Structure formats: C-alpha cells, structure tokens
Amino acid sequence: MSLKEKIKQNPELKRRLLNAMVHPVKTRPRGWLRLFRWFYTERGKGSVVCRSARLDIVPFNPFSLGARSVIEDFSTVNNAVGAVRIGDRSRIGLGNTIIGPVRIGDDVNLAQGITVSGLNHNFENICAPIAAQGVSTSEVVIADDVWIGANAVILAGVSIGSHSVVAAGAVVTKNVPECCVAAGNPARIVKYYDREAGLWKKN
C-alpha cells in the first residue's frame, strides 16, 4: 500500500496533514507551503503570473501553466479540490477566479471578472449549515481557441468546444459545442458556424 493510500484510509492523519498545509479559516495554503510552490507546480517557458495574482496551489492536486500563458493581476487560481491545467498561449484576464477541477486548452482568452468553477457546495439537509455538508466536483473543460467575455460564469461540469465564444455576462450551465456563440442567463446558442455553407448562422 502506497503512502498516499495509507493517508486516505486514515481520516485523522488526513485531517492533521491537511490542517498543516491549509489554513482552516482562510482556506488557503499556509505561508510555509507557498514558499515551496515552485517545486510542485509546472510552468511552461515564457509563462507569466502577475504579482498580485493569488495562487492557492497545493501539492496534492496538479497545477500547470503552459508556455507563454499569463495569469493577470487580481486573479485567483485554486486547485485544492481538483487539478487546474492551463494550456499554451492562454490568458487568464484581470480579476478572474479559477477553481478546479478545470482544464483550459491552448490559445484561450478569458476577459475580466470571469468565474470558472468545477466546485459545488452540497445542499441536501435544510437543518444543517451548508458549509458542513461538503462539496462535489465536476471538471470544467474549455477547449482550444475559446474566447470568454467579461463577467461570464462557467459552472461545474460544463464543456466549451473549440473556436467558440461566450458573451459577456453569460452564465453557462450546459455544454457549448464547437464553433458557436453562447449568450444570456442561462446561456443559449445564438449563433453557429455552418461548415458546409462556410458562414455563420443565427440559431
């Protein structure tokens, strides 16, 4: 049995280790762990993380930032409940929040104030505090060459196909196929590219 499996099977040991790594109230990696972040994260050549970006990155879930990709100022990236993988030449815009599990492809542009979250808080028992009911996760997948407009929200489990656009302010609750434009709350397909005709058509 591996060390990781032994820890998983011992709830008290798991709790103690997690408490040593993640502040229980701030719910972010402790200062000592952040000092070693460069040893357990993967950064591509020419990638940039701006100074005021907040990387809440822990070693027990993967984090990778591809070559020539950037995480702009005032953004937060958190992999505590799931891996965050960002491809090459992609841009996480000003003030974005990315909570894993999330997979972002190459040449993706996220504008300002966007939330992409693979996390949901459980809510089954109305007599118990929501914070005490645990969480569930479902990976968000954003394919290559996607543009997401300012203040959009991408919810857990959603996939966005390549060469698609999500309009500003959209709340995406369902999958968006490739070569489409989605807008609204909840988002719906308003335009798609007809490959046979070689032109865009309204939905």
Catalytic residues: 121
Phi, psi of 100 (to 5 degrees): -70, 165
The three-class DSSP label of residue 122 is coil
**Does residue 200 contact residue 192 with C-beta atoms inside 8 Å?**
yes
CB-CB contact of 111 with 73 (8 Å): no
Distance CA 154, CA 63 (A): 19
| Position 8, amino acid | K
Q: For residue 86, what is the DSSP state?
A: E
CB 76 within 8 A of CB 98: yes
In whole angstroms, give the CA distance from residue 103 to residue 203. Answer: 28
Quote the tokens at residue 156.
Answer: 């857990």
